[in-house]
Amino acid sequence: MENAESGAPVRNGLALGALMCLTSMVSIQFGVALSAPAIALHGPMGTAWLRLAFASAMLLVLVRPRFHRYSRRQWTMALALGATTTVMNICLFSAMQRIPLGLAVAIDFLGPLAVATLGYGLGWRLAWPLLAGAGVLLLSYDGVGWVGNLPGVLFAGGAAVCWATYILLTKKVGAAFEGLDGLAMSLAAAALVATPFGLVQGLSGLTLEGVAAMVGIAILVPLMPYALEMIALRRMPTSAFGILMSLEPAFGALAGFLILAQPMTASQMAGMALVVAASIGATASGRGE
């Protein structure tokens, strides 16, 4: 009886963490899709800087972190997470300019899946990333030719590496800070890191309407999803988080279709199914031990 009672909070925590992950994925992918006009106007670096700057400013006002109380280790961790966040955003936006959103996110997803697979150990579980890789190949071909280009794929690959690093760092930052202080510090660091690269492009052509739109997008991503992810990572193992977030390509494809009018062929849908199947397989194999 005691075991059952002690297990209930764990299950509830995992369920709440999963709900947060789901909400985060929807917010991120639709926020990214809605960022397309800003990317066309301000470029990847300018758009990344604007989103990070607005999100950071809002969170600093809400959280009001006590800067003087943090240790050198906390400052270092926040800076590392902030720099990773900046590069991840720039890489993803640069990929969006060159390849469809669904494909970009599918490649990006390989990072979290790698975290999930390695979290449960090596061996035969490496089949799941290979299955996802086959799905990515199908997504890359629309029946007529290869979609996108090599630079777009490389940028998406860079975003995948950053996303894997982001998951690991977010877990540590969330444990090192109270509340959302770690997120506030890391977003402030991300905005500062992005400033030399995106300040000029971000301010060029910026209007009051553009500011209002960018504030809304900054809430959708990164503010709300990053906060949800940091809280979720306190409630669940890093590997479980990576597996849940591996459903991101499906949401990316849906956002690309609904907002950016990027349809998918039958073979591309099959590729997406393989990516999702890899996620389900990794989840099932992880629970088996």
pLDDT digits (tens, 9 = 90+) for 103-112: 998 898 888 7
Average pLDDT value over all residues in the chain:
87
* Residue among 158, 149, 113 nearest 132 (CA): 113
Question: Among the residues of the chain, which ranges form H helices?
Answer: 2-34, 36-63, 72-96, 101-119, 127-139, 150-176, 181-203, 208-218, 224-233, 238-245, 248-260, 266-287
Contact criterion met (CB below 8 Å) for 82 and 187: yes
User: How much is the pTM?
Assistant: 0.86
pLDDT score of 16: 87
In angstroms, what CA-CA distances link 112 with 23, 96, 275? 17, 19, 12
Which amino acid appears at position 224 of this protein?
Answer: M
Q: Is pLDDT of 98 > 80? A: yes
Q: Which two tokens stand for residue 17?
A: 């963490």
**pLDDT tens per residue across span 191-200:** 999 999 999 9
**pLDDT tens per residue across span 73-95:** 999 999 999 999 999 999 999 99
Which of the four pLDDT bands, split at 50, 70 and 90, describes residue 285?
Answer: low
pLDDT score of 2: 43
pLDDT score of 11: 66
* Residue among 108, 139, 97 nearest 265 (CA): 139
Residues 119, 280, 81: CA angle, nearest 5 degrees:
40
Contact criterion met (CB below 8 Å) for 76 and 209: no
> Partners of 146 in the beta sheet?
141
For CA atoms 5, 175, 157, 191, the dihedral sign is positive
Contact criterion met (CB below 8 Å) for 163 and 85: no
Domain boundaries, the chain: 11-287
When pLDDT is averaged across residues 143-170 and rounded to a whole number, the result is 91
When pLDDT is averaged across residues 112-119 and rounded to a whole number, the result is 76
When pLDDT is averaged across residues 250-271 and rounded to a whole number, the result is 92
When pLDDT is averaged across residues 190-214 and rounded to a whole number, the result is 94
Which of the four pLDDT bands, split at 50, 70 and 90, describes residue 72?
Answer: very high
Contact criterion met (CB below 8 Å) for 221 and 27: yes
Residue 100: which residues within 8 A CB-CB, separation 6 or more? 147, 148, 256, 260, 262
Q: Is pLDDT of 237 > 80? A: no
When pLDDT is averaged across residues 10-22 and rounded to a whole number, the result is 80
Burial class (CB in 10 A: 0-12, 13-18, 19+), 230: buried
